[in-house]
Amino acid sequence: MIPGAPQCDPEIWSLGIPVLGVCYGMQVMVQQLGGGVERAERGEYGKASLHINDATDLLTSVDNDTVMWMSHGDSVTYLPEGFELLAHTDNTPQAAIADPTRKLYGVQFHPEVVHSLGGQALIRNFVYQICGCEPTWTTDAFVEEAVREIRARVGDKRVLLALSGGVDSSTLAFLLHRAIGDQLTCMFIDQGFMRKGEPERLVKLFRDQFHIPVEYVMARDRFLAQVVGVTDPEVKRKRIGHEFISVFEEESKRLGPFDYLAQGTLYPDVIESADTNADIKTGERVAVKIKSHHNVGGLPKDLRFKLIEPLRKLFKDEVRNVGRSIGLPDEIVRRQPFPGPGLAIRIIGEITAERLNILRDADLIVRQEINRSGMYHELWQAFAVLLPVRSVGVMGDQRTYAYPIVLRFVTSEDGMTADWARVPYDLLETVANRIVNEVRGVNRVVYDITSKPPGTIEWE
Residues annotated as part of the active site: 23, 110, 112
The 8-class DSSP code of residue 365 comes to H
Contact, 362 vs 406, CB < 8 A? no
Ordered DSSP codes for 70-123? EEEEEEEEEPPTT-EEEEE-SS-S-SEEEETTTTEEEESS-TTSTT-TTHHHHH
Count of helices and strands (H, E) across the chain: 12, 18
The CB density around residue 454, as the number of other CB atoms within 10 Å, is: 10
Give the separation between CA 131 and CA 106, rounded to whole angstroms: 15
Give the separation between CA 260 and CA 262, rounded to whole angstroms: 6
Phi, psi for residue 421 in degrees, rounded to 5: -80, 135
Q: Omega into 454 within 30° of 0, i.e. cis?
A: yes
Contacts of 257 (CB under 8 A, 6+ apart): 158
Cα angle 128, 110, 92 (rounded to 5 degrees) comes to 115
Phi, psi for residue 143 in degrees, rounded to 5: -60, -45
Q: Order the strands of the 84-88 sheet from edge to edge.
A: 19-22, 104-107, 96-99, 84-88, 36-52, 66-78
